[in-house]
Chains A and B, each alone.
Chain A
């Protein structure tokens, strides 16, 4: 990704030189550079045909009829942390993805944190924004129960990172009640899949191939994220609004926003994740074709039995505030299980039954598939091995 390299060389230089400074400090209770990381090996399979017997992939290549462990779900991340001084921390995260990125190691995120005190910190650099409930650690499979976060929700936000500032206020009471408020802003360059139904309705010829991506830039991103609760029950509320340039769609300076509510319950052996998101984009015809309004949600319930966690997810994807004929609609049920292989390593398996629907009764039923299926539902299987180190 050339634009990432050129764009973040500056941030990397800042973080890197800050780290070198840290290495030359006199001995204090700082550790020098600390390395940690995560690895996910993921395989998926979905053999679902349309009426003419042709395979229709799921989730823009997430699951095809080839069992593929080199899919874009397989990746490794390496994080380097260094405390430069008592108040300044720096972090650099490298990632290598399988799939079309072909495991090239890139600087994914790099930032410098200035800690005013234990409650207040200011972050500068490139970081993953808290767009949805688990967006910030979406790459760390070990951190959540599913093989993949429900696609109905997490597929609606293709924004990779924020280059800018973030102010974080966090506090916890003696009783274990945590409160966090983060206000952030910046810009970024990202890419998003062009929806299969949009490709099938492409106004000019030739249309792009299924699985094609379009580049877009976000600017004047402003958002907040707030969480309140304990380790057992935590609520989340967030909202982000941005301007978007997408030259592939002839769009310049159009608006988009992402809002969401979430809840995580992790109490005794009972586990639940519930989330609802609302993507609201400019009502122009171009925007409603490229990124139509969508609302989505899911509820996951699970129960730990020793090292084994079976879970069930019900998810929905539906129209947003403004009805667009290009909006996607489906519901799905996923049955899965996570097994703690060892401390820091988990094995997961899930089976999803997705039922595409028509957004307005006249549009074909795509759901998250490349095209309308012959039968009313499709099945997708996924498995992963997730490690942190």
Chain B
């Protein structure tokens, strides 16, 4: 209890110090503040976005949300984390989506929508630009 009381303002302070230093190109992975997704690594994030898993080893459900097709952050995310271009990604999903074997993440419209969704859904995970970070969501990881 005491930890969580101290932790939030501490993180807010750290973000206030660190955020200005973050370049616009940073991708921040965010989750709901009440989540059970601690320690999620990039490999796991990649598998979640490929539709391979919907739960972590600890049993926690993890549901990814995506950014709009053609947006710069989406292109950067898939290239950095999955090593795929948007066309490669579309070809990938065309095989799995229409057979019901795997499901693609839901697409939202902006950093603000992603934050709002993640803040309202305990199992959600999303990615936004580093400069959009605030304390409505928990930062899981940040990649340059």
A residues near B (Cβ < 8 Å) are: 27-29, 31, 34, 36, 38, 77, 79, 81, 86, 89, 91, 93, 111, 113, 115, 117-118, 123, 127-128, 136-137, 139-140, 142-143, 168, 170, 172, 174, 178, 180, 231, 307, 340, 343-344, 388
- Separation in Å of the A110 CB from the closest CB of chain B? 11
Q: Which residues of B contact A140 (CB under 8 A)?
A: 94-95, 98
- Size of interface on B: residues with Cβ below 8 Å to A: 30
Which of B91, B93, B121 sits near A29, CB closer than 8 Å?
A: B121
Which residue from chain B places its CB closest to the CB of A266 in the assembled complex? B91
> How does the 8 Å CB contact mask read for B38-78 relative to A, with 1 for contact and 0 for none?
00000100010000111100000101000001100000000
How many residue pairs link A and B with beta carbons under 8 A? The number is 75
Given contacts A38-B94, A118-B54, A143-B95, contact A28 B100 (CB under 8 A): no
Q: Which residues of A contact B120 (CB under 8 A)?
A: 27
Which of A31, A111, A142, A340 sits near B100, CB closer than 8 Å?
A: A111
Report how far A77 CA is from B94 CA in the complex, Å: 12
Cβ contact within 8 Å between B99 and A343: no
Cβ contact within 8 Å between A89 and B55: no
**B97 contacts A by Cβ under 8 Å:** yes
Report how far A168 CA is from B102 CA in the complex, Å: 12
CB<8 Å pairs between A and B, sample of 25: A27-B120, A27-B121, A28-B123, A31-B106, A38-B98, A77-B98, A89-B100, A93-B98, A115-B54, A117-B55, A118-B53, A118-B55, A137-B99, A140-B98, A142-B90, A143-B98, A172-B52, A174-B43, A178-B52, A180-B101, A340-B87, A343-B69, A343-B70, A343-B87, A388-B93
Report how far A310 CA is from B78 CA in the complex, Å: 26
Q: Which residues of B contact A36 (CB under 8 A)?
A: 97-98
- Separation in Å of the A287 CB from the closest CB of chain B? 30
Cβ contact within 8 Å between B98 and A344: no
Cβ contact within 8 Å between B106 and A34: yes
Q: Which residues of B contact A172 (CB under 8 A)?
A: 47, 52-53
Q: Which residues of A contact B54 (CB under 8 A)?
A: 115, 118
Which residue from chain B places its CB closest to the CB of A388 in the assembled complex? B94
Which residue from chain A places its CB closest to the CB of B120 in the assembled complex? A27
Which residue from chain A places its CB closest to the CB of B41 in the assembled complex? A174
**B80 contacts A by Cβ under 8 Å:** no
Cβ contact within 8 Å between A343 and B90: yes
Q: Which residues of A contact B36 (CB under 8 A)?
A: none
The 4 closest A-B pairs by CB, nearest first: A143-B94, A29-B121, A29-B63, A136-B99
Which of B47, B70, B98 sits near A137, CB closer than 8 Å?
A: B98
**B26 contacts A by Cβ under 8 Å:** no
- Separation in Å of the B82 CB from the closest CB of chain A? 10
Report how far A142 CA is from B61 CA in the complex, Å: 31
Q: Which residues of A contact B93 (CB under 8 A)?
A: 388
- Separation in Å of the B94 CB from the closest CB of chain A? 4
